[in-house]
Amino acid sequence: MGDALVILGAAGLVIPVFTRFRITPVIGFILIGVAVGPFGLGKLIYDVPWLNYVTITDPEALEPFAEFGIILLLFTIGLELSFKRLWQMRRLVFGLGALELLIIGTFLAIVLGMMGQYWTGALALGLALAFSSTAIVLPISGTSSPVGRAALSMLLFEDIMIVPIIFMLGALAPNAQDGGWEGLVETLWQGGLVVVALLVIGRFALPRLFAQAARTKSPELFLAASLLVVIGASLVTAAVGLSPIVGAIIAGLLIAETEYHGEVEGIIEPFKGLALGIFLITVGMSIDLETIWANLGSILLAVVLVLTFKAFVTGILLRMMGARRSTAAETGILMASPSETTLIVLAAAGAAALIQPGTAQFWQIVTAIGLTVTPLLARLGRLIARRVEPVPELEEVDLSKPPVIIIGIGRVGRLIAQMLDAHEKPYMAVDSDADLIAGAKRKGYRATFGDAARGDALSRLGVDRSPAVVLTMDEPVLAERLTRKLRKEHPDLLIVARARDTSHAAELYRAGASHAIPENLESSLQLSEAVLVDIGVPMGPVIASIHEKRDEYRAKIEHEGALDYKPQLRTSTAKS
């Protein structure tokens, strides 16, 4: 009971104080862990008995809750993805992710072997230090920006590789028999069957489960259903030897394919934040300041060398995969620190007698320091990215004349901006791709950096007064989610969305779009217009028939999208 009060008190103190000074709460939770852990106030508890009320007395009891925080994090990441988007990322996940883990792990193993570590222990340490922190990196980077997508691809591959690596370390143990490899094979085929079963059952069961929960209009039941799904999937994958986070990701992906993913994400968010806070407190509790002071030089040297090498290799790999210099630099620095998974692999290596307890403790401290400085690395990465590819500043937007907001400043977004300029209508484009923003600003477009799906990016641009929002991104799932979010928050907003095809347009109408324009339909109509005019049909009847056909298809798509309302749209005159 006392430990629970300490944790809740820490959350109540850290989140508002650090948010007030615009500092990530990550650092605050880790510092609280240092203070209330066994190496902080815990050392004084026998001399000052009342400190028992502000000290974590049973650190091991927090470990299941910390693991649950990571599971919830991976579950929410799955909610932001979709099978379609994951398939589109396969080259990054199994290309970039595999190269990053193998190159960094192998090189670090070689260096540690040259320093005297036996080769099996060196391999274990190299692979452990190659991991990066899912729990800290993704909340900082998101998953929709170029930096976030690159980080997500590498972290997903690392999460997939946790179980094979731990099995491999068990097989390399001095007293291990062939059973280690046999166990790996058995886990892989059983895990494969379980994953397929989850995918099949989830496809049919989850929409019905959440439909029943939604009909009750009970937030408690909806929360219970969400936790049942994520915990159940995690327990099933853990039972066959896979990591529970594999089940959490699958559960998130399955719910992401339903219309209830937004509600699930919102209701899980507070629990994820608190559970992650517990995880970060456990990281802080593992930091022994006296041990750090006694070995300050070697620990700081190890931290600097590991961070520098990982940042350099990751940045080079991203450049080889075609990323811009700014993206490569920022992602490399953000991914430089070791991970919470590093601690798991170190524990497995120690249990297999591949490394000595003192060596494991040294690298645990290095890992904890790396996790602590990750938010600072994120800021450093952004600063260096701006130095590498500076973005020219444009004049501030005059929000007294509410601009049309264009989400995405790629090919389509730039064309819309040109048309608005031609008719002297104010606009502002927002994009989470810093490279696209830089290129657009160089060419004179009014654009700003921001992730429209997160935070207050659209609020800062005056979306509550804007005459229209135009979604131009070529990411169907994100477009649907953002449309649904905008319609919920701004019922009378004009939302015009780019659609891939007619079925995607129907989904956008269901999500609340005022107009959804399928690319394939417009290209077909333009082709029809060109051929009719060129074979001698007068321009007037051609244009009339094109408009008629467009209206016919639009009515059909709206009907397929079950559009049962037309929002009262804003007009510029109503705002003046």
| H or E stretch at 425 | none
| Cβ-contact 128, 359 below 8 angstroms | no
pLDDT of residue 18: 66
Q: Which residues contact 387 (CB under 8 A, 6 or more apart)?
A: none
- Greater confidence, 257 or 381? 381
Gap between the Cα atoms of 458 and 77, Å rounded:
22
Gap between the Cα atoms of 131 and 341, Å rounded:
7
Gap between the Cα atoms of 482 and 500, Å rounded:
16
Give the mean model confidence (pLDDT) for residues 442-456: 76
Confidence of residue 303 (pLDDT cuts 50, 70, 90): very high
Amino acid identity for residue 291 in this structure: T
Gap between the Cα atoms of 124 and 342, Å rounded:
10
- Which three-class secondary structure string do you get for 482-531? HHHHHHHHCCCCEEEEEECCHHHHHHHHHHCCCEEEEHHHHHHHHHHHHH
Gap between the Cα atoms of 393 and 562, Å rounded:
44
The pLDDT tens digits of the residues spanning 15-55 come to: 677 666 656 677 777 777 787 777 776 666 556 666 666 67
Gap between the Cα atoms of 356 and 379, Å rounded:
35
Taking the alpha carbons of 365, 366, 369, 375 in that order, is the dihedral positive or negative? negative
The pLDDT tens digits of the residues spanning 175-225 come to: 554 445 566 677 777 778 888 888 888 888 888 888 887 777 777 787 888
pTM of the shown model: 0.63
Q: Domain segments of the chain: what residues?
A: 58-388, 404-575
**Statement: residue 571 has pLDDT above 50:** no
Q: Which CATH number fits domain 58-388: 1.25.40.10, 1.10.260.40, 2.40.10.10, 1.20.1530.20?
A: 1.20.1530.20
**Torsion angle (degrees, nearest 10) of CA 168, 170, 172, 177:** -110
Q: Which CATH superfamily is domain 404-575 in?
A: NAD(P)-binding Rossmann-like Domain (3.40.50.720)
What is the chain's mean pLDDT, rounded?
Answer: 78
Query: Token pair of 242, please?
Result: 């896979």
pLDDT of residue 52: 63
Q: Give the DSSP per-residue string, 330-366.
A: HHHHHT-S--HHHHHHHHHHHHTTSS-HHHHHHHHHH
**Torsion angle (degrees, nearest 10) of CA 17, 19, 22, 24:** 100
Look at strands 427-431 and 404-407 and give their pairing: parallel
Gap between the Cα atoms of 236 and 349, Å rounded:
25
Confidence of residue 388 (pLDDT cuts 50, 70, 90): confident
- CA Rg, the chain, in Å? 27
Give the mean model confidence (pLDDT) for residues 401-409: 85
| CA angle at 129 for the pair 128 and 131, rounded to the nearest 5° | 75
Amino acid identity for residue 348 in this structure: A
425 phi and psi angles, rounded to 5 deg = -105, 130
Amino acid identity for residue 235 in this structure: L
Gap between the Cα atoms of 420 and 404, Å rounded:
9
**Statement: residue 265 has pLDDT above 80:** no
Gap between the Cα atoms of 439 and 410, Å rounded:
10
Query: Token pair of 406, please?
Result: 């264009």
Query: Token pair of 267, please?
Result: 């209701």
* Closest alpha carbon to 285 in 36, 44, 51: 36
- Greater confidence, 522 or 156? 156
| CA angle at 433 for the pair 429 and 436, rounded to the nearest 5° | 65
| Cβ-contact 159, 245 below 8 angstroms | yes
Amino acid identity for residue 315 in this structure: G
The pLDDT tens digits of the residues spanning 84-102 come to: 767 777 888 888 888 999 9
Query: Token pair of 444, please?
Result: 């004179």
**Statement: residue 560 has pLDDT above 80:** no
Confidence of residue 387 (pLDDT cuts 50, 70, 90): confident
The pLDDT tens digits of the residues spanning 225-243 come to: 888 888 888 888 888 777 7
Q: What is the DSSP letter of 218?
A: -
pLDDT of residue 432: 76
Confidence of residue 394 (pLDDT cuts 50, 70, 90): very low
Do the first three CATH levels of 58-388 and 404-575 match, i.e. the same topology? no
Look at strands 494-499 and 468-471 and give their pairing: parallel
